[in-house]
Chain A
Amino acid sequence: MVEVSDKLKTEEGKKDAFLGIDIGSVSCKFVLMDRNGEVLTSVFLRNRGSPIDSAKAGMAELRDKIQAEPDLLNYAIKCCGTTGSARYLTKAVVGGDLAKTEIIAHAVATQSMYPDVRTILEIGGQDSKIIILRDDIIVDFAMNSVCAAGTGSFLDHQAARLGIPIEDFGDYAVRSENPVSIAGRCTVFAESDMIHKQNAGYSKEDIIAGLCDSLVRNYMNNVGKGKELDEPVVFQGGVSYNKGIIQAFERHLGCKVIVPKYNVLMGALGMAILVRDYYVEHGSETVFRGLEVSDIEFKTTTFYCGDCPNNCEIVQVRMPEQDNKIIARWGSRCGKWDQLT
């Protein structure tokens, strides 16, 4: 097994491939891309216990996919980049060459498919963002700050409560003829409002459609506040699977909303593109550990520094199989723990 991935990483005379990893709050995404920006293969997983476990699980699945497809063995991973809220931890673990924020990664991916895009809506598991572009340049962005209302986790929860699979959620909304009005400012209120409407006898379809509407309204007021949302509008992230939300956005914006082919992989794809450009520009040796990362053991520990009243919580990642070597450490405000030696 290890031979395969070793070959993939180093052997000469192979075609170049680039790996983008996006580890978010709920799921992790891996995209293997060739030099021309074509997606060779991808992995989408729900997060495991920690970003490290997720990264390892993703790598294992990627390795299996590569083994199953002989064509992919003709590629060698030249560079690897990470994004998402766990980008630095993941970078340390897999040996990433570059870490960028989700905003940049998403924008780059969308631009590669829709060069004239002017508005990107992204709703993921626990956060939502908006990116505004003009003339090929990112000019503004916003992220949800104090409130996770209207993100994937909430929809998940409500679907479970209504007893329907989340995959069918959108279909229910589309069938509705009279969406009910549901308080959308806060998920806690939205939920009690929903229960109230359920008990009053409204149909599931109408309640779900109303919920989609209220989520879009909430998104517009919180994240999209004060921004000019011009066409073309691209909608991505896990929630863009939901037809009900797509329709609600279209109603609100009064224009067509495009959902890209790789709607949930955009962050990882963007990272693969960024890391390719980085490789082309710098041509540097990769520090990527290879797909066998899934077999390496990593351990994170935390401790309180205690040297000053701030009492920072320090996180460190070790490799027990390599003399317990510390590969990353962060968390101190003064920076004194940032040095690894």
Chain B
Amino acid sequence: MELSTTGDKKRYKVGIPRALHYYRYYPFWKKLLEELDVEIVLSPPTNKKIVEEGVTHGFGELCIPVKIYYGQVLKLVENNPDLDFLFVPRYVSEVPESYFCPKFLSLPDVIKILPEVPKILNFEVNVKEFPISTSAIELGKQLGKGQTASVDAYKKAQKYFDEYHNFLRDGGSVNHALRLVHRNLPFKLPKKQTKGDLRFLLLGHAYNIFDSFINLDFIKKLHEQGVEVLTIENLPEYLFKKPVIVNPRGGILRNYWRHEEEIMQAIRFFLTKGKNEIDGVIFLISFACGPDSLISELIMRDMKVVGLPFLEITMDEHSGEAGMMTRIESFVEMVRRKRKKLGLEPRWKSKIKFYEGT
């Protein structure tokens, strides 16, 4: 590392593509990297051009979110030819016995096929093998930082990340919170909150739900229909403590996939005590997602048992707005008519009762 030995004040410039895990970990990464004295450059929000580029360079059986990642990397490199590093973390396992999709595991290797990609900044999270503090130390090494500085940065980042999560659990939306993180503003709920007479739980991977380009502004569409939207991030932490056993009679079969386990854990509450707290569930899936297609089937069956309306929406780069609108409108209307017929009061921002300690 020539730069650090000269004692020069030059900071490393690190690019982060606004895709995939960005929607899940960005506040953590930002704090961590900034504490390690790095200048962060983010790619712009997804647009048509980025998707087209990604689709052109994506190969084989990739799902659209990964193709967008490609497009975002290309855009980032195009806008910033002077990047020292591209930050492509490798998330293997975040909690024991639960793994991310292989497409995440291989990302730092696969991304190298793209033209003119700068050096990859490695950050591997694999708690089965080593704690995250070790991952942070390894990250610091690449940036010329010592062990103490790295562990310190990790602790600060984790603390900030906890604050971020608490804000979401208090009802902050992910997109709003990410904007605050981006501008270094304190976590504060907006004065104007969207109100609706219906409340839906919107399930799916963060990169599908919060990338408003690829999902054709799904959340906004629901808001416009008078629906309050709850996402997994808004639910209390205790719901995610216990593992989900998919088939109790078939031995202890845990859900292997990390994201999907979270979705199942969220659902569990609404299958039992929370079943009157929401009016419907929408599951947004990207075409070709194997794990999602599996649990969608499970969720559909569960929903039928408790009588909660359920809608699965599959999207890809060819998603038509008209088809999606018809489905959303029909679903909202169906639920609204049901509530009216049953003589239920509109919700209008009533608080959800989450029972602790169950």
Chain A interfacial positions (CB closer than 8 Å to B): 85, 100-104, 136-141, 143, 145, 226, 308-311, 333
Beta-carbon contact of A101 and B338 below 8 Å: no
Residues of A within 8 A of B297 (CB): 226
Beta-carbon contact of B326 and A102 below 8 Å: yes
Residues of B within 8 A of A308 (CB): 47
Q: A137-B337, A138-B334, A311-B48 are in contact. Are A101 and B329 (CB under 8 A)?
A: yes
Residues of B within 8 A of A310 (CB): 47-48, 213
Query: Which residue on chain A has the smallest CB distance to residue B47?
Result: A309
Beta-carbon contact of A137 and B341 below 8 Å: yes
Residues of B within 8 A of A136 (CB): 341
Residues of A within 8 A of B330 (CB): 101-104, 141
Residues of A within 8 A of B216 (CB): 333
Residues of B within 8 A of A102 (CB): 326, 330
Task: Render B213-238 as a binary contact track against A, CB cut-off 8 A, 1 for contact.
Answer: 10011000000000000000000000
Beta-carbon contact of A101 and B48 below 8 Å: no
Beta-carbon contact of B48 and A85 below 8 Å: no
Tally of contact residues, B, Cβ under 8 A: 27
Task: Render B89-103 as a binary contact track against A, CB cut-off 8 A, 1 for contact.
Answer: 000000000000000
Chain A to chain B: the 8 pairs with minimum beta-carbon distance, closest first: A103-B330, A309-B47, A309-B49, A101-B330, A138-B334, A101-B329, A310-B48, A137-B338
* Residue from B47, B49, B50, B326 within 8 A of A143 (CB atoms): B326
Beta-carbon contact of B334 and A103 below 8 Å: yes
Interface of A is mostly: loop
* Residue from B50, B323, B331, B334 within 8 A of A145 (CB atoms): B323
Q: A101-B333, A104-B330, A137-B337 are in contact. Are A85 and B47 (CB under 8 A)?
A: no
Residues of B within 8 A of A100 (CB): 329, 333
> Does B309 have its Cβ within 8 Å of any Cβ on chain A?
yes
Q: A137-B341, A138-B337, A138-B338 are in contact. Are A101 and B309 (CB under 8 A)?
A: no
Task: Render B15-48 as a binary contact track against A, CB cut-off 8 A, 1 for contact.
Answer: 0000000000000000000000000000000011
Beta-carbon contact of B326 and A101 below 8 Å: yes
Query: Which residue on chain B has the smallest CB distance to residue A137?
Result: B338
Residues of A within 8 A of B322 (CB): 85
Residues of B within 8 A of A103 (CB): 326, 330, 333-334
Q: How far is the CB of A314 from the nearest CB of chain B, in Å?
A: 13
- What separation, in Å, do the CA atoms of A104 and B327 have in the docked complex? 11
> Does B158 have its Cβ within 8 Å of any Cβ on chain A?
no
Task: Render B282-317 as a binary contact track against A, CB cut-off 8 A, 1 for contact.
Answer: 000000000000000100110000010110001000
Task: Render B328-348 as a binary contact track against A, CB cut-off 8 A, 1 for contact.
Answer: 011101100110011000000
Which of A102, A136, A137, A311 has the most B CB atoms < 10 Å from its CB? Answer: A137
- What separation, in Å, do the CA atoms of A241 and B175 have in the docked complex? 50
Residues of A within 8 A of B217 (CB): 333
Residues of B within 8 A of A145 (CB): 314, 323
Residues of B within 8 A of A139 (CB): 307, 309, 334, 338
* Residue from B310, B326, B334, B341 within 8 A of A85 (CB atoms): B326
Residues of A within 8 A of B331 (CB): 141
Which residues between 79 and 119 of chain B lie within 8 Å of chain A, taking CB atoms? none
Residues of B within 8 A of A85 (CB): 322, 326
Q: A137-B337, A143-B326 are in contact. Are A226 and B300 (CB under 8 A)?
A: yes
Q: How far is the CB of A308 from the nearest CB of chain B, in Å?
A: 7
Q: How far is the CB of A328 from the nearest CB of chain B, in Å?
A: 15
- What separation, in Å, do the CA atoms of A105 and B69 have in the docked complex? 41
- What separation, in Å, do the CA atoms of A158 and B334 have in the docked complex? 36
Q: How far is the CB of B321 from the nearest CB of chain A, in Å?
A: 9
Residues of A within 8 A of B301 (CB): 226
Beta-carbon contact of B333 and A104 below 8 Å: yes
Beta-carbon contact of B334 and A104 below 8 Å: yes
- What separation, in Å, do the CA atoms of A136 and B323 have in the docked complex? 26
- What separation, in Å, do the CA atoms of A101 and B310 have in the docked complex? 18
Residues of A within 8 A of B310 (CB): 140
- What separation, in Å, do the CA atoms of A137 and B336 have in the docked complex? 10
Q: How far is the CB of B325 from the nearest CB of chain A, in Å?
A: 8
Residues of A within 8 A of B341 (CB): 136-137
7 A-B pairs, CB-CB below 8 angstroms? A100-B329, A104-B330, A138-B334, A138-B337, A140-B309, A310-B47, A333-B217
* Residue from B49, B323, B334 within 8 A of A141 (CB atoms): B334
Beta-carbon contact of B337 and A309 below 8 Å: no
- What separation, in Å, do the CA atoms of A226 and B300 have in the docked complex? 9
Residues of B within 8 A of A226 (CB): 297, 300-301
- What separation, in Å, do the CA atoms of A204 and B322 have in the docked complex? 38
- What separation, in Å, do the CA atoms of A246 and B47 have in the docked complex? 46
Which of B50, B301, B333 has the most A CB atoms < 10 Å from its CB? Answer: B333
Residues of A within 8 A of B327 (CB): 143
- What separation, in Å, do the CA atoms of A139 and B213 have in the docked complex? 30
Residues of A within 8 A of B309 (CB): 139-140
- What separation, in Å, do the CA atoms of A103 and B329 have in the docked complex? 9
Which of B48, B50, B217 has the most A CB atoms < 10 Å from its CB? Answer: B48
